[in-house]
Amino acid sequence: MADSSDSEQISPVRGDRLRQRHLRWGWLLLLGFVTLGAVLESLHGFKVDWYLAVGNETRRLMWRLAHAHGTFLALLHIAFAFTLAHARRRSPALASGCLTGASLALPAGFLLGAIGAEGGDPGLGILLVPFGAVLLLVAIVSVVLALDRASDDSAGTDSTETDPTD
């Protein structure tokens, strides 16, 4: 038997706080990672040698990956905020924490991986990336399950359905 709190809607106050938190996180992360992208483009546009040097290729790749993943995760926070209206109580709390953790671990892993990059090998900071990827996967699965339960619950309560055999 499912826990009754699992099938209830998120309380309006809690849902509003969670929505506001993810909207704020999303827009702040977007500001930070779009700014990082602009800095990287400027370094490339002005042909800054220490950025474009062949020996810095791994570092340059790590910074671009941090920018791309950070921007993607920022947009995911904004999408998550709007998805909360369709989710159930438990899964969004797990998804919220995991999404926030992934938003820190994935880009930080790439940024820190650029520190101490030797040849084609990133630095030890890259070890945060798999951890962030697992957190992101857990967040996505939690949202999918919350949405699946929401549609199952609403389908079971529709009294206007008619039996096609009648």
The verdict on residue 60 lying in a domain is yes
> What is the chain's pLDDT, residue by residue, as a tens digit (166 residues)?
444 444 455 666 677 899 999 999 999 999 999 999 999 999 999 999 989 999 999 999 999 999 999 999 999 999 999 999 888 766 688 999 999 999 999 999 999 999 989 889 999 999 999 999 999 999 999 999 888 766 666 665 544 444 445 4
The CA distance from 14 to 18, in Å, is: 6
Give pTM, 2 decimals: 0.82
Q: Which residue type sits at 39?
A: V
pLDDT value for 70: 98
Domain membership flag for residue 36:
yes
Q: Give domain status of residue 101, yes or no.
A: yes
Residue 103 covered by a domain: yes
The pLDDT, as a whole number, for residue 2 is 45
Domain of 83, in residue numbers: 14-150
Domain assignment present for 5: no
Q: How far is CA 110 from the centre of its chain?
A: 15
88 falls within a domain:
yes
Residue 64 counted as domain residue: yes
Asked, for residue 46, whether it belongs to a domain, the answer is yes
- Closest by CA to 58, choosing from 107, 139, 126, is 126
In terms of Cα–Cα distance, which of 78, 64, 91, 90 is closest to 29? 78
**Cβ(105)–Cβ(36) below 8 Å:** no
Q: What is the pLDDT of residue 12?
A: 65
CATH code assigned at 120: 1.20.1410
Q: How many domains does the chain have?
A: 1
